[in-house]
């Protein structure tokens, strides 16, 4: 595909995500079916709560990653500058949008590289689409990695979006073989991430067996890339598949209970309560995209306010359930009801394991 078409598409995606309603309309994340047990007698002061965590060997001050959303267009440079500055200031991670656009257009490299320039100590995740793995050479993957001195490489699975997109590439053949090759050839961890439709346990096992270091579930209930493509191109397919996918909470539970590698929760994570639920279900970190992007459009003050608010929400949640650390979160009971419980039981998962955790 010509470089200018890719660049224009990136600009369209950025504008649509900021200005249009692109989130799920009917399907939810499933977090509403998950409840904590409130503790009326606090055991510690709120300022004793510890939120530091390790992810793929890197220490995050908070278990939060700014999700991959943007790059590949001149408009993206200022967004990635702001998001990079925020990540560096708060000690959180950051993912970049697909770097395919910059592989053959050096003019666009700076729209990605700016993140590393303003965030020299931040855990940065490079990004490429799964369909491109079959054609890219090792040196091209290294170019993507070196572009931002990445700490990890994300390979995104977007078969839904590609099926809807006017210029979509629907060839995902040999993906597992390509993943296995990539994980052996590059020196940094590889993360496989969905893009809003979730990952089931059967696919998670295959991804793990391919040598991947972590999985980002990116479930349904948040941004719908089918919706984005519907708004962009008007394809009726985009409207029909607007709410397609596995709810985030379901996908997270399926993956955490099926693989030994770290799992990132993403897809409609919007509040500190969502973050706490994700961590309690076994996520090693959470990734949030659309709220950060929209906050960045309003400036650094709004960005900091948003992040401060969700961190405070996370702390209050942990205080109210008696969890001083993230490890404590994983030991406390959860109540899982509704459609989420029904789905998991039908899929053969033991929902009772969560409520049977013991309260101290």
Do β-strands 334-336 and 214-216 pair in parallel, antiparallel, or remain unpaired?
A: unpaired
Is residue 99 in some structural domain? yes
Residues 37, 335: Cα–Cα separation, whole Å: 8
- Of 106, 98, 44, nearest to 289 (Cα)? 98
Is residue 50 in some structural domain? no
Minimum mean pLDDT range among 47-61, 67-81, 114-128, 341-355: 67-81
pLDDT at residue 31 is higher than 70: yes
- Of 315, 250, 222, nearest to 33 (Cα)? 250
Residues 212, 184: Cα–Cα separation, whole Å: 10
Residues 231, 192: Cα–Cα separation, whole Å: 27
Quote the Cα angle for 29-35-38, to 5°. 150
DSSP letters spanning 162-182: HHHSTT-----TTHHHHHHHH
Residues 96, 108: Cα–Cα separation, whole Å: 13
% of the chain at pLDDT higher than 70: 97
Is residue 37 in some structural domain? no
Minimum mean pLDDT range among 158-172, 278-292, 306-320: 158-172
Is residue 63 in some structural domain? yes
Q: Which domain CATH number covers 215?
A: 3.20.20.70
Is residue 230 in some structural domain? yes
Quick one: DSSP state of residue 338? H
Do β-strands 285-288 and 334-336 pair in parallel, antiparallel, or remain unpaired?
A: unpaired
Is residue 40 in some structural domain? no
Is residue 46 in some structural domain? no
Mean pLDDT of the residues in the chain: 94
Helices 201-209 and 175-185: angle between axes, nearest 10 degrees? 40
pLDDT digits (tens, 9 = 90+) for 176-215: 999 999 999 999 999 999 999 999 999 999 999 999 999 9
Is residue 51 in some structural domain? no
Residues 254, 250: Cα–Cα separation, whole Å: 6
Q: For residue 4, name the pLDDT band (cuts at 50, 70, 90).
A: low
| Number of independent structural domains in the chain | 1
Containing structural domain, residue 218:
3-24+57-355
Q: For residue 25, name the pLDDT band (cuts at 50, 70, 90).
A: very high
Radius of gyration of the chain (CA): 19
pLDDT digits (tens, 9 = 90+) for 276-297: 999 999 999 999 999 999 999 9
The reported pLDDT for the residue numbered 318 is 98
Q: Is 53 helix (H, G, I), strand (E, B) or coil?
A: strand
- Of 306, 216, 226, nearest to 266 (Cα)? 216
């Amino acid at each position: 595909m010509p470089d200018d078409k890719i660049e224009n598409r990136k600009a369209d995606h950025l504008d649509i995500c900021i200005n249009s309603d692109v989130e799920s309309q009917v399907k939810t994340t499933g977090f509403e079916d998950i409840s904590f047990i409130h503790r009326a007698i606090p055991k510690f002061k709120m300022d004793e709560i510890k939120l530091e965590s390790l992810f793929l060997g890197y220490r995050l001050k908070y278990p939060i990653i700014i999700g991959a959303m943007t790059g590949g267009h001149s408009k993206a440079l200022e967004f990635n500058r702001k998001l990079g500055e925020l990540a560096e200031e708060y000690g959180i991670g950051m993912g970049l949008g697909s770097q395919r656009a910059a592989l053959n257009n050096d003019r666009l490299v700076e729209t990605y590289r700016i993140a590393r320039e303003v965030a020299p100590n931040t855990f940065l995740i490079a990004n490429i689409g799964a369909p491109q793995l079959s054609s890219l050479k090792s040196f091209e993957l290294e170019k993507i990695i070196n572009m931002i001195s990445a700490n990890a490489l994300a390979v995104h699975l977007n078969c839904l979006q590609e099926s809807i997109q006017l210029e979509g590439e629907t060839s995902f053949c040999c993906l597992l073989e390509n993943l296995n090759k990539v994980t052996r050839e590059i020196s940094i961890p590889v993360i496989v991430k969905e893009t809003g439709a979730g990952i089931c346990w059967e696919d998670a096992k295959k991804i793990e067996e391919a040598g991947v270091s972590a999985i980002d579930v990116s479930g349904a209930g948040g941004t719908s890339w089918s919706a984005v493509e519907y708004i962009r191109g008007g394809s009726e397919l985009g409207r029909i598949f607007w709410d397609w996918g596995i709810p985030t909470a379901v996908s997270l539970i399926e993956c955490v209970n099926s693989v030994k590698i770290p799992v990132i929760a993403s897809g409609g994570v919007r509040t500190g309560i969502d973050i706490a639920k994700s961590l309690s279900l076994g996520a090693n970190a959470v990734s949030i995209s659309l709220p950060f992007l929209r906050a960045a459009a309003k400036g650094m003050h709004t960005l900091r306010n948003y992040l401060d608010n969700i961190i405070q929400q996370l702390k209050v949640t942990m205080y109210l359930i008696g969890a001083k650390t993230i490890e404590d979160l994983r030991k406390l009971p959860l109540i899982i009801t509704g459609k989420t419980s029904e789905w998991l039981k039908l899929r053969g998962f033991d929902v009772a394991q969560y409520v049977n955790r013991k309260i101290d």
